[in-house]
Structure 1
Amino acid sequence: MRGHDRINTCLPDEVILEIFRHLDSKASRDACSLVCRRWLTLERLSRTTLRIGASGSPDLFVKLLSRRFANVKSIHIDERLSVSIPVQHGRRRGDQSKLSALQLHYLTEKTGSEDGQFQSESYCLSDSGLNALADGFSKLEKLSLIWCSNISSLGLMSLAQKCIHLKSLDLQGCYVGDQGLAAVGKVCNQLEDLNLRFCEGLTDTGLVDLAHGCGKSLKSLGIAACVKITDVSLEAVGSHCKSLETLSLDSEFIHNKGVHAVAQGCPLLRVLKLQCINVTDEALVAVGNQCLSLELLALYSFQQFTDKGLHAVGKGCKKLKNLTLSDCYFLSDMGLEAIATGCKELTHLEINGCHNIGTMGLESIGKSCRNLTELALLYCQRIGNLALLEVGRGCKSLQALHLVDCSSIGDDAICSIAEGCQNLKKLHIRRCYKIGNNGIVAVGEHCNSLTELSLRFCDRVGDEALISIGQGCSLQHLNVSGCHQIGDAGIMAIAKGCPELNYLDVSVLQNLGDQAMVELGKGCPLLKDVVLSHCRQITDVGLSHLVKNCRMLESCHMVYCPGITAAGVATVVSGCANIKKVMVEKWKVSERTKRRAGTVISYLCVDL
């Protein structure tokens, strides 16, 4: 019956709360909160997660949030993220000036400054704000404080005493000291996840005390650029953190002794990431012998590792699924063969800049690792076609292939992958100059599940390749930046065959014109991100056709497009209700466009 509120009179709070919890997007929840005051209150009670960027008077902001969202269990504060004023479409200049005045009053309330020279501290969470956070969110289980440089041990001690249910703590870039970390270890006995990356104020004392306090519960630990944390800390971790599953180390002050202690004392270790230039094969042999549950191993910038270490891993870590080898110059085909022979469950492999690994090593992966689903080869000059021919024959489950600067890989390799790995979903290729139309045509013919295709600066790829892709695949992501042989015909084929396309980068395509933009507007209504930079033949006319039909457009990059003028920029801003970022030369933005949408416009060059 019209005018009768059946929902609020019949449904109790508990049922409405349960409905809110099942909503799959923040936008839906926000819409529900606007229905009535009761729904607003209940929706606030259903919120369990808050994300906060840098803002004026953050301490006061935290207090206000704690009054509104009492049941929050997860808070993410990242002071690298700026908060800008939302676009006010249709707002008159007078209204905008009132908004600015309100913001000025809000910012000066705590700083006491009225001349616009706000103190930098007003944008940084302090110990006072951390104390307010602890008082207001007693149910907190997960807290991330990213680059909150003004908090100290005092604030962390207050937090630890009041948030005893804390399970995850991220202190990346926070200059906290040993006392605060020790307090967390003493009180937060349920802590499982701890990130100490770039915590320069910490020493072994703090981490040892934490290991003594909550070592039994700790499962994940990350350390990077903590110059005063040494092997002493890792020995304490090995002695007390028997449940540790994930360890990430990036340090010049960690040696074999520390890694060996963890390998010996943490039998449940599943994930190990190392960037420690003073660690040698001795430590990796200990990992291979002791960490039998290891599933992910990432080794970065090691110049002291040889095949001896990989042999130990291949022999002992039978459960290994994910391996990354980056800039490990002394690893060779023999080491990779040991991994292939011993780790047959391998699903993800990345080789980056390991110049002594060649075709033979990757051939062994293709022959032995039948479950491989993702392969990334970056700057691998010695890996040739025969390697991918073997991968195509043996790895039928491959879903993602990434190739960067692999100068010996050509069309024969891509044809083999296309014919053998027909479940391929992602193909990213950059600066592989021997790959041309034949390989990509084969992908279009055989890989009908392909959704992401990136062919950056592959100058032998032309329209013929994209016509095949448009006929055989339904792409959601396409990047053909720098493929100068591609013109209107190829992009029009994509527009007709890929209606679900939401990302497109066609920058530096000198032969692309307005006709392609017209067809994209007709065929790809879901486009959200478009990069048109350095396209000299695209004009305001083509841009207007694109904007007219692509109503979901959120970002548009169009620098160095001489055919696009201030009128075209205004068309994008006024015609796209969801636009969040427009990148263009400063001189192409009119004063009216600046007033209308200044917050979404980014400039390639700014005045000095």
Structure 2
Amino acid sequence: MTHLKILYYHLLSDKKIKDIVSSCPNIIHLNFKRSTGFSDKVLILIVGAYPNLKYLNLCDYADTYGTLYQRFINKGLLAISSSCYKLEYLNIYLHTGITELTICDIIYSCPGLQHLDLSYCEVTNLVIEEIAHSCLNLKYLNLEGCANVSREAINQLDLLKPNIHVENFMNTIMPAPFDAYSVIYALSRRLGMSVDTPRDATSLHNYINDKLMRRMTLLERIELKRNDSKAKKFIELVYRKQKPIYSLKLTHLEIPYYNPLSSKKIEGIVRTCPNIIHLNFKNCVGFSNRALNQLKAYSNLRYLNLCSSGIMGDKALCGMVGSCHKIEYLNISFCQGITDRSLIKIVDSCQALQEFHFACAHLISERFIIEKLLTVEKHLNVEKHLSVKYLDFGRHVYIAETSICNAIHSCPNLQHLNLSFCEITDVTIKEISCSCFYLKYLNLEGCANITKEAIDQLVLLNLNIHVEDFMNSMDMRTELNQKIVRIYNIQHNVGNNLNSVLPQLYHNQKKMKYSSLESSQQDESNGSKIVFLGLIIDEILNKM
């Protein structure tokens, strides 16, 4: 190991440094930025053990009360001048206890220096003169807070070394009215103020506002939570056709649970922020077809979450996905008004789609899911492979096993597959083994007709796969009996065998919230009955 960084670590004791030196003898790059706890004695050990050191960062910091946490005296820094002749980078930011003569000795002994940070060190024109004569390769010099250096000395340095970049130099006629340990000093340090900036309340206010505006120009992501003040302020800006300074930079916008998000507000967002590629409007009440039409302007859109955002029609959704071909994530779950037409358009237009959620889209027909979206007929005939990585069939008991197998075959890039409570057998597991070489997660909860041998073969072929909640029919029957006993122990009115509990279970079936259970009840397979009864028992137990 030649490079070591330990940043912002406040328990870097002498003992730990000694262990590092003994374990890593070939260090040439050492960065202890704002790390504290070690002494001059260990600093002498470091520079003595690493004669080939090229990079050394000893940047200190002050808290809000102006307290300096890492103080070195001249003895520790002088060791650099006697050992580290190959040093190219040195940062002794805020080490106010180092004398000017010690800094001059270091500069003289390290002619290869290219980067030197002397911010808030006690230096005068003497150090600048030494730099001009000794550091022939110096390219960067930071003199922030060095108030005792004259403009004439810097001009002379620039004349002798035209390639050097002097940063944060500010000559002051009068020394700044604070010392290294004052509260004002610490505040100005945290704000990055130059030493000659006025310290009155008005100047501080203007300085902070200017800094905030500059930072906002770099803003690329906004995440707002519910109807908080920031969300309301942002919507108010775009609604009034005001253009925030960061609008052109903004690419990610998340405003979930906003109420109401009208089409006029969406229009303001599209007009103000034209470079959006990530939109999250989850659970935003008031979203309409007109608002959806506005999103067609985002041709580079990659992520769109409209989960539970209200009623929308096929025409608006088809128009939007027809313009946004690059979508990789789309969530229209619980959106009313979506039919087969929209999903056909999504399948045909969004070839980059990797994750698609349309839970509880009740107007989509079972035939469409089986024959179109799952690529049973249309796509398989031309061997079309999709880029889908996430597929969730959980509790879709009406989808035939052949349809699921065809979908798996068409999605060789799958990494996440949920088949919980689907009517599948070893045939599906075999198809997964042959087609899904990148699969990392497989949920088989409630799939009672799969054998342990099939799962063992799958894991043997794909060592990285995680199979969750697999339980064959015998294991399910054992678990079911245990749940029956639990009901008996709680209510004392149900026998601890399968026959005596059936009347109560089927009576409670009408109260179940899972509509898919009605289909599985009609299935005569032993595994399906066990899964079905187990779900109803879980519902009973949850209500006790």
What is the TM-score of this pair, normalised by structure 2? Answer: 0.50
